[in-house]
């Protein structure tokens, strides 16, 4: 169950109302009243405006909870799904809040195995959790597993905003990560192309008709 506003580590995105930026189709207001909101666009201009607004918590972004958490925990909230690099320096500051790296490593392993459920045979291949030895899709899954492990260990009740969440994933990894997201209680805002979300109906479609 998601935390209440009284908790220190709570933030939820409620709404974006664009005033000075003209969005495709004249959709100026985006309401995030679901656990998972899908936004599709193929050319990326409107999607970029949304990402920028959320990342900086612009004045026209309505939230509940502590807005300052967006900047403090930005690396585990805003995730680029086509960049498998982990910013170890930035994440080190978070782990200082909870110095038991062994617990983070254990959660990472559990998450990684869950995401790779459809490719369970690869879990043994990557049992040392060395991303340098992984294929690109599995490396992206490892990044997701690690970032979610930090969120879990630190008890962060924060949204996760992912640009192109399935960009590097094949069908099996995509299905595994989607199932993993289904099990998470956090607010999820996913942005990508219509093809990327095949089978899932977008709540906001920014593609020009």
Q: Tens of pLDDT along 27-47?
A: 889 999 999 999 999 887 888
H-helix or E-strand spanning residue 186: none
- Per-residue confidence (pLDDT) for residue 198, from 0 to 100: 84
Q: Residue 81's closest CA among 168, 160, 151?
A: 168
Domain residue spans in the chain? 11-205
DSSP state of 126: T
Please tell me the total number of residues recorded for the chain in this structure. 209
Instruction: List residues bridging with 38 in a β-sheet.
Output: 190
Residues (pLDDT < 70) of the chain are 1-7, 93-99, 208-209
Whether 184 contacts 159, CB under 8 Å? no
Nearest one of 163, 192, 169 to 43, comparing CA atoms: 192
Q: What is the pTM of this model?
A: 0.91
Residues 127-148: b if buried by 16+ CB within 10 A, e if exposed? eeeebeebeebbbbbbbbbbbb
Annotation: CATH topology of 11-205: Rossmann fold (3.40.50)
* Cα 128–chain centre separation: 24
Which of these, 155, 146, 14, 8, lies nearest to 69 by C-alpha position? 8
Q: State residue 101's pLDDT score.
A: 83
């Amino acid at each position: 169950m998601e935390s209440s506003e009284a908790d220190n580590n709570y933030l939820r995105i409620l709404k974006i109302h664009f005033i000075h930026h003209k969005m495709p189709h004249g959709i100026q207001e985006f309401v995030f009243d679901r656990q998972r909101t899908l936004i599709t666009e193929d050319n990326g201009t409107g999607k970029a405006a949304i990402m920028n607004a959320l990342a900086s918590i612009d004045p026209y972004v309505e939230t509940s909870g502590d807005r300052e958490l967006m900047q403090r925990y930005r690396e585990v909230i805003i995730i680029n799904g086509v960049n498998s690099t982990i910013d170890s320096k930035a994440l080190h500051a978070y782990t200082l809040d909870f110095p038991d790296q062994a617990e983070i490593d254990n959660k990472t392993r559990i998450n990684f195995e869950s995401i790779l459920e459809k490719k369970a045979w690869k879990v043994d291949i990557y049992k040392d959790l060395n991303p340098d030895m992984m294929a690109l899709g599995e490396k992206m899954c490892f990044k997701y597993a690690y970032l979610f492990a930090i969120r879990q260990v630190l008890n962060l009740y924060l949204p996760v905003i992912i640009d192109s969440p399935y960009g590097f994933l094949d069908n099996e990894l995509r299905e595994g990560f989607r199932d993993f997201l289904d099990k998470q209680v956090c607010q999820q805002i996913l942005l990508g192309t219509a093809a990327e979300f095949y089978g899932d109906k977008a709540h906001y479609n920014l593609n020009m008709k």
